[in-house]
């Protein structure tokens, strides 16, 4: 997993491909469609990383936190498993199933553990189960060399590696899993190394995020997060996105729409032109959450249980396309990526800059969908009536 092994000395302009699909009714499908989508975006990546997140894949262990952990050494595994035994009741541990693939070389040891916080330790901490798990994940990633927890949610999992995304899907046997949300990423790193733990998606608890672009505010975002005991250890800017989502939505209980207004906040000149009530709200958000504002070009897809969201930066410097077909929501960097998942969508549109597209389980309404229906040409912003 060391960056020296996987970096390959490449430094080229940004690409990255994103795809996501969600059943608003909770219908689960295997990973073949999402693999086809990200494979079609092959030229947006360069083989230095890719991955997937899937929701609803462990129904028989739905109440357990599923820890996916990669190890470079036996000593790292020994130390980590000792820590897990101290802090958790481990219901099951096993190797993550894989199949050999010529495009995936030198894989680390890949394990998963279905755990619950040990009741006595949880009571001593006086924390929620989620904060308890968060603290232990941060500790492993920061303090145990050659061990990385790359997924820690309930009834979901992340699968990532160095390689092309379609090869990673085959390696992790994603055709054998069924999920109602799939998100995928093909990586084209620019300023950070290609290494296993640094591939997308980035996760924390049941949050998963894939990202195309660069976060120029990384230093500010990182220092802001450290005030709330988050530790950035993966040496890539996207990591802050997952932690900001957890902080804003889970811990501070902001609605998703408001959290998106923090991450991709309107410019001050736009705020000054707003009606008084909205101006006061957005001014307060900018003042209170200035350290959480994400600057730089980005398009992201993020998910948690029951929700999938697509979001651009506030001037839309990275592509993102959305589509609907019956009870399915699709997101991708390109319309071609959507049509690999759904050949004939009912509606295709380009989300507006800084305006989220939000699909929620059990709701036929998708926030950010154009109100007038019909097909909107990609590259043309949707408008509401």
How many whole angstroms separate alpha carbon 106 and alpha carbon 128?
38
Q: Which residues are catalytic?
A: 16
Is 194 in a helix, a strand, or coil? Answer: coil
Does residue 50 contact residue 42 with C-beta atoms inside 8 Å? no
Report angle CA 37, 40, 41 to the nearest 5 degrees.
95
Give the number of other CB atoms < 10 A from CB of residue 367. Answer: 15
Report angle CA 198, 322, 320 to the nearest 5 degrees.
45
How many whole angstroms separate alpha carbon 93 and alpha carbon 89?
11
Does residue 134 contact residue 81 with C-beta atoms inside 8 Å? no
Buried b (16+ CB within 10 A) or exposed e, 296-320: ebbbbbbbbbbbbbbbbbbebebbb
How many whole angstroms separate alpha carbon 381 and alpha carbon 8?
39
How many whole angstroms separate alpha carbon 348 and alpha carbon 65?
36
The position carrying tokens 């609907």 is: 324
How many whole angstroms separate alpha carbon 244 and alpha carbon 256?
12
List the structure tokens of 89. 């009741």
The position carrying tokens 């916080």 is: 117
Q: Is the dihedral of CA 52, 26, 311, 237 positive or negative?
A: negative
Establish whether the linkage from the previous residue to 385 is cis, with ω within 30° of 0. Answer: no
- Which one, of 197, 199, 168, lies nearest residue 34 by Cα? 168
How many whole angstroms separate alpha carbon 332 and alpha carbon 2?
30
Strands 207-213 and 298-304: antiparallel
How many whole angstroms separate alpha carbon 136 and alpha carbon 85?
12
How long is the chain?
Answer: 385
């Amino acid at each position: 997993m060391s960056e020296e092994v996987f970096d390959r000395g490449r430094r080229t302009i940004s690409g990255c491909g994103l795809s996501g699909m969600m059943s608003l009714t909770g219908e689960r499908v295997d990973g073949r469609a999402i693999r086809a989508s990200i494979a079609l975006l092959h030229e947006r990546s360069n083989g230095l990383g890719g991955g997937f997140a899937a929701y609803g894949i462990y129904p028989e262990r739905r109440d357990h936190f599923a820890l996916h952990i990669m190890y470079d050494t036996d000593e790292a595994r020994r130390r980590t498993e000792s820590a897990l035994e101290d802090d958790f009741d481990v219901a099951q541990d096993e190797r993550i199933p894989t199949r050999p693939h010529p495009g995936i070389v030198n894989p680390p040891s890949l394990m998963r553990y279905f755990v619950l916080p040990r009741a006595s330790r949880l009571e001593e901490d006086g924390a929620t189960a989620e904060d308890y798990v968060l603290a232990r994940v941060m500790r492993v990633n920061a303090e145990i060399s050659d061990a990385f927890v790359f997924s820690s949610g309930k009834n979901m999992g992340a699968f990532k590696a160095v390689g092309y995304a379609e090869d990673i899907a085959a390696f992790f046997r994603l055709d054998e899993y069924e999920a109602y949300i799939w998100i995928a990423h093909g990586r084209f790193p620019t300023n950070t190394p290609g290494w296993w733990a640094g591939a997308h998606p980035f996760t924390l608890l049941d949050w998963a995020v894939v990202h195309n672009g660069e976060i120029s505010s990384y230093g500010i975002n990182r220092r802001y997060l450290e005030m709330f005991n988050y530790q950035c250890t993966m040496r890539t800017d996207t990591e802050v996105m997952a932690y900001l989502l957890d902080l804003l939505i889970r811990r501070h209980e902001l609605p998703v729409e408001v959290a998106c207004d923090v991450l991709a906040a309107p410019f001050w000149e736009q705020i000054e032109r707003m009606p008084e009530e909205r101006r006061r709200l957005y001014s307060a958000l900018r003042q209170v959450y200035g350290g959480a504002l994400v600057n730089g070009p980005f398009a992201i897809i993020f998910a948690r249980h029951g929700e999938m969201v697509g979001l651009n930066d506030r001037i839309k410097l990275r592509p993102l396309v959305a589509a609907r077909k019956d009870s399915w929501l699709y997101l991708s960097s390109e319309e071609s990526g959507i049509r690999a998942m759904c050949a004939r969508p009912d509606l295709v549109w380009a989300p507006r800059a800084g305006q989220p597209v939000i699909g929620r389980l059990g709701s036929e309404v998708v926030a950010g969908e154009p109100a007038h229906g019909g097909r909107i040409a990609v590259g043309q912003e949707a408008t509401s009536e």
